[in-house]
Homo-oligomer: A and B are copies of this chain.
Amino acid sequence: MRISKKLEQAHAKEDKPTFSFEFFVPKTSQGVQNLYDRMDRMYGLGPQFIDVTWNAGGRLSNLTTEIVDTSQSIIGLDTCMHLTCTGMPKKLVEDALRDAYNSGCQNILALRGDPPTDTEKWQATEGGFSYAKDLVKYIRAEYGDYFDIGVAAYPEGTDEEPDVDLLIEHLKEKCDAGADFIITQMFYNVDKFLAWVTKCRAAGITIPIIPGIMPISTHASFLRRANWCKINIPQNFHDALEPVKNDDMAVRELGTKLVADMCQKMLDSGEIKHLHFYTMNLEKATIMVLEDLKIIQPNTSANPPLPWRQSLALGRQDETVRPIFWKNRKQSYINRTQDWDEFPNGRWGDSRSPAYGELENYGRFLRYSSGQSQDLWGEPTSIKDIGNLFAKYVSGDVKSLPWSDSPISNEVELIKPQLIDLNSRGFLTINSQPAINGVKSSDPVHGWGPKNGYVYQKAYLELLVSPKVLATIVERIGVDGNLTYYSVNKDGELSFNVNDNSPNAVTWGIYPGKEVIQPTIVEKISFLAWKDEAFGLGEEWASCYPSSSKSRELIDSIVNSWHLINIVNNDFHDQLGIFDIFEGLTAVEN
């Protein structure tokens, strides 16, 4: 969504300040992965949007659009992409805008960019742009009102141009070229800032001005950045920080107070309603300021609109149904379905046809290197070892599994002892959900969707089962009239007890004035697409161990001979019935 519209809506709804985070492009792949994890966590704080900086020209420039895409598609954050224009061939600008468009990103911060270090002077590339205002005009001409366009402002001048009044003239030109909002350079002197805002307004600049806030982490970095940006540091900052400059903890605590006070002063002025934080890709300092200001608006705990995180990618905004299989691998699901023309909106129905992306196109499955995998999951040499590892994941002592990117969710509490018991007997559970027979949609653990609703789930289990016990389990499923299942091995031998191919809704919600929402399903075609990924994950895990090792042999034998089975207890009044079919069985004789 466009930032200006989003802020307008937020401030119309509630008289509470809003905020956003800026991240820069990390230098390594592992850094990118860590940033994604951090963005995912900071989503929970409820930012209105995030910014991702631009890395002009370098090999990292593609990374900007990749991070923007991930932020929009997978993390579900409205994103503003920085885009610099000097030294940029026009083709690169075009590509970047098109990539942003395709990601569903609707916000561009149009920047001039730093001069190349070798020439120390700005110069336009052939057919390129000389000024940010040219880029603003170009975006507006090419994309109409699709993008919100932000521009930068320097309340205390820049290194090259200390004349603030002249800079306001330039800013006015950028506004006149079509900008929608302004984000400022960092500063610490609120009085100077507010006086500058008044000057801007007097100069006819009417669009929202968003102050850029740099939290204070260490004394050294604080001074370095302030000096680099040539900004004024008020005396009270010096007075407070100088005496404790060697005590990082004290600097951070006092710094938090100082920055929060300056934010509060801006908010109290009535001129400012939104704060933009330069996070420097760190969480702690920003969170401390937000906590001091008491304006964190948690995104996750209350009522997420659906039981899974919505994607903001272009064409995906209406997506309301997903198969349960990728519950713990949402990134993979989004990647594999990114070429779908249409997402199931409320029913699986007509979108059953699009093929899931071929696995080969999505690279390896496992997030971790061989070494990391061994560190995380040890060197199992028996089914019992693996069962215990899975049991530790269920109990929360292990934070991920090859089949689960993130720690197990709170909802497992209802069936934790049963899952631990199953795994300790060698039934390797890779996915599950408890039965929920109508709890309020506001329930802190199981709730989702609008208020005054009720949510439901059918108990679900997905596990790897040794061929020795498969027949017994399938027979017991057949006797129970409420259980449905699909089972498949690596070679694709499929069995099931479902009459037609209609999807089975395993999560649904009932709300005032609405149709039934049924966001999670079990369904054959998607199970077969998941099956290749599930066995592929096992193979990759095996290959983390040396080829002659006991661990590799063990995991390979599971992948090659065991069956992946999913079971739904359709009687959602019955929490533990699904476990009865395993009574007295163990996966293998030991």
Contact = CB atoms under 8 A, between A and B. Distances in A.
Interface of A: 345-349, 437-438, 451-452, 454, 456, 481-482, 484, 498-500, 502-505, 508, 510-516, 518, 521, 568, 570-573
Contacts of A348: 515
A459 to B, nearest CB: 12
Nearest to A484: B513
- The main secondary structure of chain A at its interface with chain B is loop
Contacts of A521: 515
A452 B514 contact: no
22 contacts: A345-B349, A346-B347, A346-B349, A438-B573, A452-B482, A454-B572, A482-B512, A502-B513, A503-B515, A504-B512, A504-B513, A505-B515, A505-B516, A508-B510, A508-B516, A511-B570, A512-B568, A513-B570, A515-B518, A515-B521, A516-B516, A516-B518
Contacts of A568: 512-513
Contacts of A499: 513
A347 B572 contact: no
Contacts of A346: 347, 349
A482 B511 CA distance: 9
Given A346-B347, A500-B513, A511-B570, 11 more contacts: A345-B349, A346-B349, A482-B512, A484-B512, A503-B515, A504-B513, A504-B515, A505-B515, A510-B570, A515-B521, A516-B516
A347 B504 contact: no
Contact of A514 (B456, B505, B571): B505
A453 to B, nearest CB: 8
Nearest to A497: B513
A508 B515 CA distance: 9
Contacts of A570: 452, 510-513
Contacts of A437: 438
A517 to B, nearest CB: 9
Contacts of A515: 347-348, 502-505, 518, 521
Contacts of A482: 452, 512
B484 A572 contact: no
A505 B346 CA distance: 13
A499 B450 CA distance: 12
A190 to B, nearest CB: 40
B510 A456 contact: yes
A510 B347 contact: no
B481 A452 contact: yes
Contacts of A452: 481-482, 570-571
A94 B478 CA distance: 51
A456 B453 CA distance: 14
Contacts of A512: 481-482, 484, 504, 568, 570
A390 to B, nearest CB: 27
Nearest to A498: B513
A452 B570 CA distance: 8
A51 to B, nearest CB: 31
A64 B229 CA distance: 90
A516 B521 CA distance: 10
Nearest to A502: B514
Contacts of A518: 515-516
Contacts of A514: 502-505
Q: Which 8 pairs show the lowest CB-CB distances between chains A and B? A: A512-B570, A484-B513, A516-B516, A504-B513, A498-B513, A505-B515, A516-B518, A505-B516
A570 B521 CA distance: 24
B349 A510 contact: no
A452 B499 CA distance: 14
Nearest to A345: B349
Contacts of A484: 512-513
A341 to B, nearest CB: 16
Contacts of A500: 513
Nearest to A349: B346
A299 B77 CA distance: 53
Nearest to A521: B515
A512 B482 CA distance: 7
A302 to B, nearest CB: 16
Nearest to A483: B512
A568 B513 CA distance: 8
A511 B506 CA distance: 10
Contacts of A510: 456, 505, 508, 570, 572
A510 B454 CA distance: 14
A325 to B, nearest CB: 16
A484 B568 CA distance: 34
A569 B510 CA distance: 12
A320 to B, nearest CB: 11
A521 B513 CA distance: 9
A305 to B, nearest CB: 14
A511 B508 CA distance: 12
A101 to B, nearest CB: 27
A473 B371 CA distance: 69
A264 B570 CA distance: 42
A539 to B, nearest CB: 31
Contacts of A572: 454, 510
Nearest to A509: B516
Nearest to A346: B347
A561 B47 CA distance: 51
A287 to B, nearest CB: 34
A84 to B, nearest CB: 41
